[in-house]
Amino acid sequence: MNAFEDEPLREALLALQKSKAKEQKLLDENRAILASLSSMTGASNKQQIFNGLLTALRKYINFKDAIVLSRSIGENTFQTLLSTNEGFCNLEWQPDEKLNRAMLGESIIIYKPESMPQFNRFDAILQGQVKSVLMTGVESEASQSVILFIGTRKGQFELPCKEILAGLIPLIERAVIDIDYKEKLQSLVATRTSELRQNRERFRDFVNSVGDCLWETDSSYRINYVSEVSSEKASFYGKKIQTILEGESVCHQLVIAMDARQPIRDLEWRYNADKGIWLSISGAPFYDLDGRFLGYRGTVKDISQSKLRYLELKRARSEAEKANQAKSQFLATMSHEIRTPLNAILGLIDVLLSKCTDKNNTDVLRMMESSAELLLAIISDVLDLSKIESGRVELSVKSVNVRDVVSGNLQHYQLVANEKGLKLSLDLADDIPHQIHTDATRLSQILFNLVGNAVKFTEAGEIRVKVIRQPGQTLVIRVTDTGLGIDESVLEKVFKPFIQADGSITRRFGGSGLGLAISKQLAKLLGGDITVKSQRHQGSEFTLTLPIIHSATGSVGHASSEKPLRNSKKFNILVAEDSPANQMVIKLMLTSLGHSVDIVENGLMALDFVSAHQDELDVIFMDISMPKMDGLAATKALRQQGVGLPIIALTAHALNTDREQCFAAGMDKFVTKPIRAKDLQDVLLAYQ
């Protein structure tokens, strides 16, 4: 065989060798890719994946450093994800034409890196090392990445490098995707770890700030977590919650709630009696995802201070109630002790006035009567204030003739005004209603105070009382005087108890300083109010406003005059009264009215007298406070014996509770001392 005949064979052999070499190269590349993939699969972080990729690539491509750039879909700027040189880290890369081509999967060689702005940002040393660049890109669903290989000499990367790089794209794509995934995973883990740490710190701070101890039990109610491990409450750990509360009254409530899987709400118990430690426990059951009961968790709060304050307030309230009861008892006693002699004084004055014909003597008696009534008014003011403060004021609301009430109060002070040379005038508007629904007694009491003060504190000039009707169903009564007036600085205080604008006023004019305070409160109870306008030495104007509530029967004329008692039925009356002075006064009053009167000194004597003379008697007047047997006990005994005679209480006690006790004992009516002849006349009219 000659040389020409061997040539085709040699070419065939050469082609075969090249094919085998290429096949071997592909086989080696595939093995390298598989080995790299295997190593990357076992990698625990992005750096291990990056190192495995670089190890595989260095077998085929010679490079100094490598950089991985990445950006999320929708973002513009690339961030340095990984690099073999710290000098390339922490840099942002703006996309350009070459980076965009690489993103499309093209392998690109940059022969003059210095012509690209991105590489000019490096320091001089790094710029001197970057002589040639090879790069390509990959894209996933969530991100886009570019890998750059740095060469340290010109022309380090040629066309074969591009071909090799193109063949390794699957490996690069897998590695970059894994790196990006690990990066996001590590970032997520870091974020979650940071959030968890912050939450734990926040939870700890909250627990420390609120001062509560947190606890948790297992399904058998054994405590397996306590937040205050260094405190006394750490002794709860490992114990059943029922054991901790054993012996306490709340334990039964706790067991019932927990057995029913119900929440626990603020169960209080005394944890340490010696130290005065009180705790409050709250909690709720918790379950797993399948609904299985896992236990209870909740809080224990130290309520020692609040419990101490509560017990102190409770004790203070109890003491205040006792003090108030003592005050009421004292007022009732003092009322009785003062009213009893006043009853005799005023009663005797009434009797003397009815028989006196001498003008001088009559004037003296009138002055005595006025002084006694002033003392009585002060006593009544104190009692009224006590009733108002305790909320025990009772109103008797009925149809009231406004004109009569106002004019009647003015008539009471007309004589005093005349003696002082004062003009006392009344101006009634035409449109005011004749009748409204209110408490006539309390309205009179208010006007008595307002007009009385005006007369008392006015030395010269006049007092004007004007009654008008304002829109909105409001009745307005203005009392205006030309008296001393009040400094604006103390106007707010005049309605407070025991307050007068000037201490010298008390010394000069007298009084308790209660009238305006009581009037203000009574006005509010009637649905109205009292206001004042005044200036020093220029007089005062007090304005009373009341709601107009019409009587259901409409306007009526003036009430008819009372039936004179002289023309009424004469009664046989038994009076049980221990005071000789009051015995004399009441007997004089009743006999002057034409009645027959018998007197006994106590309740036992009253029982004996009624037993002997029941058929002859018509009415019994029974004093409340008497020796041996008081009026209440005597009345109860009479009612138990079946005695149905009218029994009328005579008492110096003026509180509502006294009235209630009288009615509860079986008495029919109630007359408060000091008793006037008209009081007896009025109460007996009911039995005519």
Give the type of residue at 454: A
pLDDT above 80 for 25: no
pLDDT above 50 for 260: yes
Q: What is the mean pLDDT of residues 36-40?
A: 60
Instruction: Supply the mean pLDDT for the chain.
Output: 80
Spell out a b/e string for 200-229, using b for 16 or more CB atoms within 10 Å of the CB, else e: eeeeeeeeeeeebbbbbbeeebebeebbbe
Q: Kindly provide the residue ranges of all beta strands, DSSP E only, lying in 74-114, ordered along the sequence.
A: 78-83, 92-93, 108-110
- pLDDT the model gives residue 400: 84
In the chain, which segments carry CATH 3.30.450.40?
24-186
- pLDDT the model gives residue 602: 93
pLDDT digits (tens, 9 = 90+) for 149-205: 999 889 888 888 888 887 777 777 787 777 777 777 777 788 888 888 887 777 776
More confident residue, 392 or 275: 275
The dihedral of CA 200, 201, 204, 207: what is its sign? negative
Residues linked to residue 144 through DSSP beta bridges, in sequence order: 71, 139
pLDDT digits (tens, 9 = 90+) for 336-356: 677 777 777 877 888 788 788
- pLDDT the model gives residue 208: 66
pLDDT digits (tens, 9 = 90+) for 602-634: 999 999 999 999 999 999 999 988 889 999 999
pLDDT above 60 for 502: no
Assigned token pair, 382: 């104190």
pLDDT digits (tens, 9 = 90+) for 507-557: 444 455 677 888 888 888 888 899 998 888 888 999 999 888 754 443 333
Using DSSP's 3-state secondary structure scheme, residue 332 falls into helix
- pLDDT the model gives residue 464: 92
- pLDDT the model gives residue 682: 84
Alpha helices in 356-479 (DSSP H): 359-389, 402-420, 440-456
The 223-226 sheet, strands edge to edge: 223-226, 212-217, 293-302, 277-287, 264-272
pLDDT digits (tens, 9 = 90+) for 76-128: 888 888 888 888 887 888 888 888 888 888 888 988 888 887 787 777 778 88
- pLDDT the model gives residue 563: 36
504: confidence class by pLDDT, cuts 50, 70, 90 = very low
Which of these, 222, 204, 213, lies nearest to 281 by C-alpha position? Answer: 213
Which of these, 572, 511, 569, 516, lies nearest to 544 by C-alpha position? Answer: 516
| Structural class in CATH, domain 565-685 | alpha beta
- pLDDT the model gives residue 323: 77
pLDDT digits (tens, 9 = 90+) for 371-388: 677 677 667 766 666 666
In the chain, which segments carry CATH 3.30.565.10?
393-547
- pLDDT the model gives residue 284: 92
Instruction: Report how far residue 401's alpha carbon sits from residue 558's, in angstroms, rounded to the nearest whole number.
Output: 7
What percent of the chain stands above pLDDT 90? 12
| Domain 211-302 homologous superfamily, CATH | PAS domain (3.30.450.20)
120: buried, middle or exposed (CB in 10 Å: 19+, 13-18, 0-12)?
A: exposed
Q: Which of 271-280, 470-479, 584-593 has the lowest mean pLDDT?
A: 271-280
Instruction: Report how far residue 534's alpha carbon sits from residue 492's, in angstroms, rounded to the nearest whole number.
Output: 11
Angle ∠(356,357,359) on CA atoms, nearest 5: 105
Which of these, 379, 368, 462, lies nearest to 413 by C-alpha position? Answer: 462
Range picked from 36-40, 61-65, 207-211, 385-389 for highest mean pLDDT? 61-65
- pLDDT the model gives residue 242: 76
pLDDT digits (tens, 9 = 90+) for 59-68: 888 899 998 8
**Residue 361 C-beta-side C-alpha neighbours within 13 Å:** 9
Q: In terms of residues, how long is the chain?
A: 688
The CATH number fitting domain 24-186, selected from 3.30.1490.100, 3.30.450.40, 3.40.640.10, 3.40.50.1580: 3.30.450.40
- pLDDT the model gives residue 386: 67
pLDDT digits (tens, 9 = 90+) for 635-645: 999 999 999 99
Using an 8 Å Cβ cutoff, are 500 and 514 in contact?
A: no
Query: What predicted TM-score, i.e. pTM, was given to this entire model?
Result: 0.41
Q: What is the mean pLDDT of residues 492-500?
A: 68
Instruction: Report how far residue 10's alpha carbon sits from residue 20's, in angstroms, rounded to the nearest whole number.
Output: 15
pLDDT digits (tens, 9 = 90+) for 273-315: 777 788 888 889 999 999 899 999 988 888 888 888 888 888 8
Instruction: Report how far residue 555's alpha carbon sits from residue 550's, in angstroms, rounded to the nearest whole number.
Output: 8
**What are the C-alpha distances in Å from 261 to residues 49, 249, 288, 289, 585?**
53, 20, 14, 17, 77
Using an 8 Å Cβ cutoff, are 105 and 138 in contact?
A: yes
Instruction: Report how far residue 32's alpha carbon sits from residue 170's, in angstroms, rounded to the nearest whole number.
Output: 12
The dihedral of CA 21, 26, 30, 32: what is its sign? positive
In the chain, which segments carry CATH 3.30.450.20?
211-302
Q: At 447, phi and psi to the nearest 5?
A: -65, -35
**What are the C-alpha distances in Å from 624 to residues 329, 341, 590, 644, 684?**
15, 15, 19, 19, 19
Instruction: Report how far residue 138's alpha carbon sits from residue 109's, in angstroms, rounded to the nearest whole number.
Output: 16
Alpha helices in 390-426 (DSSP H): 402-420
Q: What is the mean pLDDT of residues 324-343?
A: 71
More confident residue, 382 or 671: 671
Tokens 């400094």 — which residue?
487
655: confidence class by pLDDT, cuts 50, 70, 90 = low
pLDDT above 90 for 22: no
Q: What is the mean pLDDT of residues 575-589?
A: 87
Using an 8 Å Cβ cutoff, are 525 and 410 in contact?
A: no
| Domain 393-547 homologous superfamily, CATH | Histidine kinase-like ATPase, C-terminal domain (3.30.565.10)
**What are the C-alpha distances in Å from 563 to residues 497, 505, 556, 569, 685?**
41, 44, 19, 11, 8
367: confidence class by pLDDT, cuts 50, 70, 90 = confident
